Structure 1
């Protein structure tokens, strides 16, 4: 069995400063949007501010989850608190799905009876929001492929950016034509666009919580690579799972023949899987022929 004294760093933890910057930007814009809605008496802006509030809370939740995930393992949490990041990603996905469904419902209600909207105020505030969200997306873009938690945060900002664009387009149409059906139509399009991406994020988070095999690890290739090590006669009962994005763990039963130095063999196996398959935590049960009949789980 192998484990290291140094705790593995999650992918999200490497980008927490970037996330904090985006939280600050989005929080500042939220305050400006609330003030703008009160000053202009625009219900549309206040409604969008409520949507923005859920996103800021989601981003803050992602940051808090990273901080919790950095806590060291102990006797009660032997694998540490890595899963807090995955829980945050799942919560963000659920919130975004609920928002998408609500947007579609609200769009249907407004389509039946479109209210008169202050288009100029919408354009100004939405334009500021678009700039803020583009900056936030640029900051978070590099981390989306490495961390589900950061991907959830990125989708929060993406949904805001799409909302800002939609509000601007609707504002221009309503300002120039007075056709207030533009607001619900574009809102519905935004809701439909956000839904599939968020659904995939939710499925990825659930796969981690169910301890499914990480998508970047091929079990067949892993077994083949281990069986090519001199002295190894076979490998069975392989389990590979993700503690969080970027931190994979595995366990396996390794059938070996006669070996003068089992520690050396174990070292080769560990180096191979940690280097070639990016696995951070390994547990190997070394067996000789005949032992498998005593196992209760094969």
Structure 2
């Protein structure tokens, strides 16, 4: 079972502050934390913890954040031999969090801006040998399109996790076998404005018609919708025992879904498996610490049955 991932890596620098500073103001009393992030890296680590052989394509700088990333992948058993060392620094996100939970985020993409079609070309053998290719969208559009096209040409099942969402170029639609937006991302992909008036089922059907593939719209506490040629079906949520941090839920879901598909599980069963992974992840603070192992998921599934 092999998963190839094309996506992002970034360091998240978080400061919890008593209040957000105004222009020219300095606020003391903050609490600082830093950690690994980026949707591609999170998904790669998540899939590896669930037993997949994983190869990752992303870009990092020749800096301390990049070296920490490579150490993380080595520790987690993620194949990072094709990761690009860029001229620019590793992507960094600065996150200010107020006591209410309100946050302000500034991102410097840095190295990720150098991830191009040529880098994807060097990763082609990994894509060809994978059971599932996972692509997310924190990277340049050129790399997204090149990866999906390589997957299609190699006969590898393609899974696009369209986050952060933006309207997809027309050439992308026929290259997608599986699409996994959440409720807010689904209309953005279609270029719809906030007052579009379409329900989730209609959005799912429309996206299925565009791709001809499987569409899974995740809906948080409402579960998920699956759109296939046979129609739209609902998957009930897997309630979390407690909700501590929802940050990594989408990446955990995507990783587990890809692993289940690579194992040959039917789509409905794969979505249920992924929902359990997401439920586990929101119960633990942080993203990487919250990504489940196979044993943890098996225990949760056993307890729920």
TM-score by length of 1: 0.25
- Structure with larger RCO (C-alpha < 8 A, sep 6+): 1
- Which is richer in strand? 2
Q: Which has the larger radius of gyration?
A: 1
- Higher share in helix: 1
TM-score by length of 2: 0.25
